[in-house]
Amino acid sequence: MSNPARTERHALCDALLELGPDAPTLCAGWTTRDLAAHLVVRETRPDAAGGILFARLAPHGDRVRDTVALTDWTELVDRVRSGPPRLSPMRIPAVDRLTNTLEFFVHLEDVRRARPDWAPRELSADLEDTLLGALERGARLMARRSPCGLTMTPRAKTPRKGFSFVAKKGHPVVDVSGPIGELVLFIYGRRTVARVELNGPDDAVAALEATRFGV
């Protein structure tokens, strides 16, 4: 069985080498160098990775990331490509798939879609299936700031007729529909580049458009 996490990791590293260390990304204020350093810290420095989720730990995480970012560019990308330390649980293929597929998919699109000439990729069925599982597990957390009820209706290569799920209970309800990858980008705060459709009352749609999603 293929591992979409590994495929996305290598595709991101290829894109980083192609674009160089100073290219823009969709992560506010980050260049490709900053993004690569973030990925290395996430997998190799648990003392600093906590700053990704907890604001009080962010200053330490920022300092560590800034230090890692000084690494020679090719070496830095090689560290991203080689992945976590040998004894890390994320070396286990099933854990890698669970924890890294979405991370590397989103950040690959952060790099791709920061360029003016980007176009959506054709995603494999395996990648779509893995992203859908991650979306269903994580949408409620990501949608916690939604000002209204929110449902999501994925369009997949192997669609389940009438399938949608609730990301947040409430009224009125806005439904967000689109390809699975686009829904992932929407709920992870990449609304400006996510090709999705929002259906619901106009005022609820407007409020949702103004909401900041993501971690």
89-122: pLDDT as tens digits: 888 888 899 889 999 999 999 999 999 999 999 9
Whether the CB-CB separation of 39 and 5 falls below 8 Å is answered with no
What's residue 215's pLDDT?
A: 67
Helices 73-82 + 32-44 axis angle, to 10:
40
- Over residues 162-204, the pLDDT tens digits come to 588 999 999 999 999 999 999 999 999 999 999 999 999 999 9
Residue 142 resides in a domain: yes
- Confidence tier at 23 by pLDDT (50, 70, 90): very high
* 53 plus 10 within the same structural domain: yes
* 140 plus 63 within the same structural domain: no
Q: Quote the Cα angle for 52-67-27, to 5°.
A: 40
What stretch of H or E contains 176?
Answer: strand 173-179
Distance CA 55, CA 38 (A): 15
Residue 118 resides in a domain: no
Listed residues 63, 96, 112: the one ending a domain: 112
Which residues partner with 166 through β-bridges? 151
CA-wise closest residue to 156 among 197, 193, 128, 126: 128
- Assign residue 214 a region: left if phi > 0, alpha if psi is -120 to 50, beta otherwise? left
Distance CA 139, CA 166 (A): 8
* 96 plus 16 within the same structural domain: yes
* 163 plus 201 within the same structural domain: yes
- Over residues 44-65, the pLDDT tens digits come to 887 766 656 566 667 787 888 8
Residue 120 resides in a domain: no
Assess whether pLDDT exceeds 80 at residue 21.
yes
* 87 plus 37 within the same structural domain: yes
Distance CA 114, CA 52 (A): 21
For residues 148-158, give the mean pLDDT: 85
* 13 plus 85 within the same structural domain: yes
Residue 117 resides in a domain: no
* 26 plus 103 within the same structural domain: yes
Listed residues 79, 112, 145: the one ending a domain: 112
Domain total of the chain: 2
How many C-beta atoms lie closer than 10 Å to residue 66's C-beta?
A: 12
Q: Mean of the per-residue pLDDT values for the chain?
A: 90
Residue 126 resides in a domain: no
Distance CA 144, CA 196 (A): 19
Residue 127 resides in a domain: no
Assess whether pLDDT exceeds 70 at residue 159.
no
* 17 plus 106 within the same structural domain: yes
Percent of the chain with pLDDT over 90: 67
Q: Which domain holds residue 175?
A: 136-209
Residue 128 resides in a domain: no
